[in-house]
Amino acid sequence: MAGVPTTYDAPVHIAVIGGTGIQSLPGFSLAATLNIDTPWGAPSSPISILHHPSPTTGKPTPIAFLSRHGLHHELAPHEVKNQANIAALRHIGVRTIIAFSAVGSLQEEIKPRDFVIPDQIIDRTKGIRPFTYFEGGMVGHVGFGDPFDVALAAIVRQCGRALEGEGVRLHDTGTLICMEGPQFSTRAESQLYRAWGGSVINMSALPEAKLAREAEMAYQMICMATDYDCWRGEVGEDVNVEMVMGHMKANAENAKRFVGAVLDELSKEEHGDQVLARHLAGQMKFAGGMTHKEGRGKEVEGKLKWLYPGYFD
Ligand SMILES: CSC[C@H]1O[C@H](OP(=O)(O)O)[C@H](O)[C@@H]1O
Ligand SMILES: Nc1ncnc2[nH]cnc12
């Protein structure tokens, strides 16, 4: 956009990743648009830096916004530039990510347009997406027992509960099945996921959440149900794109209100340490430092030095 700065000279600690139907976050003032090149290539979209007034100080809190599937939804789930997205966000200072996703419901009580704050993920991607920064001569292992950040989730839930009754219905927890796409599931798969205890299904949580964990970021996904996938088996009811987009569009205002409420809360000074994910800071220095210097792959070493300045010198 003409006249919008292409640099931003302060660190940005909070990011929103928009998914299907959320390619921008209107209502915030645009302070800059950044085109960041990373050792893993360019992110899915330029990063918009938006100004959000802090409810306690009134000072603008910068928020980074990135569109997962590109500005025009041109990237299929397996083509999303996850490594570049998370690396670019970390590079500009981001340590907290609120990710948004349109999901299929695997449970009767999770109705289209309901919001779900998942606390678990079952990985049904097929290994075709780059899923780690630690490969090619530097080995790292990071805990993923709780794939979402527990303290950040508590803040998000509290914001969602405060909106309940005003058109927002919230499910506090849930197991998210992340499948390979772009085709939707078969009916047998959908029923299998229900038997596993799955609550909702999408194609985007992984490897996004894994890479965010490797990048020492607090990450929580807010899901909005758009369909009942295909497990109910009723004629004309199986998920299709029109259905997903229809519900996303109809409930976009609530989705944006929810994200806005979370940003308001995170902008409060009392959440400063959480927003900086201080509980995760430095973990990769050890978890990612298993490979002795002399055995490191030079290319990956260079990339990781860019991602984690000072960790692997
Ligand atoms: C258009 S339906 C399938 C598509 O919708 C979800 O996208 P996102 O998670 O980015 O909101 C799902 O994960 C699939 O990518
Ligand atoms: N039924 C479904 N399966 C996978 N991803 C989805 N996103 C929205 N609905 C979905």
Binding-site residue set: 20, 68-69, 101-102, 203-204, 227-229
Q: What is the pLDDT of residue 90?
A: 98
CA of 190, nearest ligand number = 2
177 and 303 both lie in a single domain: no
309 Cα distance to chain centroid: 23
b (16+ CB within 10 A) / e for 109-139: ebebbbbbbbbbbbbbbeeebebbbbeeebb
CATH number, residue 256: 3.40.50.1580
Atom 7, ligand 2: which residue's CA is nearest? 103
Q: Are residues 186 and 296 in the same domain?
A: no
Q: How many domains does the chain have?
A: 2
User: Domain check: are 78 and 96 in the same one?
Assistant: yes
Q: Do 303 and 231 share a domain, yes or no?
A: no
The residues near 151 (Cβ < 8 Å, ≥ 6 apart) are 218, 274, 279
For residue 33, is it within any domain? yes
How many Å lie between the centroid of ligand 1 and the Cα of residue 69? 9
Q: In the chain, which ranges are E strands? A: 14-18, 29-34, 47-53, 60-67, 96-105, 115-116, 120-124, 170-171, 175-179, 200-202, 218-227
- Report which residue type is found at 178: C
Q: Has 172 been annotated as catalytic?
A: no
- For the stretch 116-172, pLDDT in tens is 999 999 999 999 999 999 999 999 999 999 999 999 999 999 999 999 987 799 999
Least confident interval from 48-62, 183-197, 261-275: 48-62
The confidence score (pLDDT) of residue 126 equals 97
Q: How confident is the model at residue 53 (pLDDT cuts 50, 70, 90)?
A: confident
Whether 175 maps to a domain, the answer reads yes
Rounded distance, CA 206 to CA 209, Å?
6
| Rounded distance between C-alpha atoms, residue 177 and residue 192, angstroms | 11
Residues 110 and 243 occupy one common structural domain: yes
User: Which domain, by its residues, includes 158?
Assistant: 14-20+29-124+142-281
Whole-angstrom Cα distance, residue 67 to residue 96? 16
Model confidence pLDDT, tens digit, residues 209-221: 999 999 999 999 9
- Looking at residue 23, its pLDDT comes to 79
pLDDT of amino acid 52: 84
Predicted pLDDT of residue 190: 98
The answer on 219 and 107 residing in a single domain is yes
Asked if 217 and 304 sit in the same domain, the reply is: no
Model pLDDT, residue 24 = 80
Lining residues, ligand 1, CB within 6 Å: 19-20, 68-69, 77, 101-102, 181, 202-204, 241, 244
- Kindly give, in sequence order, each residue whose CB lies less than 8 Å from that of residue 204, ignoring residues fewer than 6 positions away: 19, 68, 77, 80, 99, 101, 178
Q: Is residue 9 annotated as part of the catalytic site, yes or no?
A: no
Residue 1, pLDDT score:
64
Cα-to-centroid distance, 103 and ligand 2 (Å): 5
Across the chain, mean pLDDT equals 94
In contact, 79 and 129? CB cutoff 8 Å: no
How far is ligand 1, taken at its centre, from the CA of residue 199, in Å? 16
In a domain, 1, yes or no: no
Report if residue 130 sits inside a domain: no
Residue of 226, 241, 248 to mutate, ligand 2, most atoms within 8 A of C-beta: 226
DSSP secondary structure code for residue 254 in this structure: H
User: Ligand 2 centroid to 275 CA: how many Å?
Assistant: 30
Q: Is the peptide bond before 118 cis (omega within 30 degrees of 0)?
A: no
Tally of helices (H runs) and strands (E runs) in the chain = 9, 11
- Predicted local distance difference test score (pLDDT) of residue 28: 86
Mean per-residue pLDDT, 259-277: 94
* Residue 79 burial (10 A CB sphere; 0-12, 13-18, 19+): middle
DSSP 127-184: S-S---S--SS-------SSSS-HHHHHHHHHHHHHHBTTTB-EE---EEEEE--SSP
Per-residue pLDDT for 26 more than 80?
no
> What is the structure's pLDDT at 234?
81
- The model's pTM is 0.97
Query: In the predicted model, what is the mean pLDDT of residues 43-63?
Result: 88
For residues 48-76, give the mean pLDDT.
Answer: 90
257 and 308 co-located in one domain = no
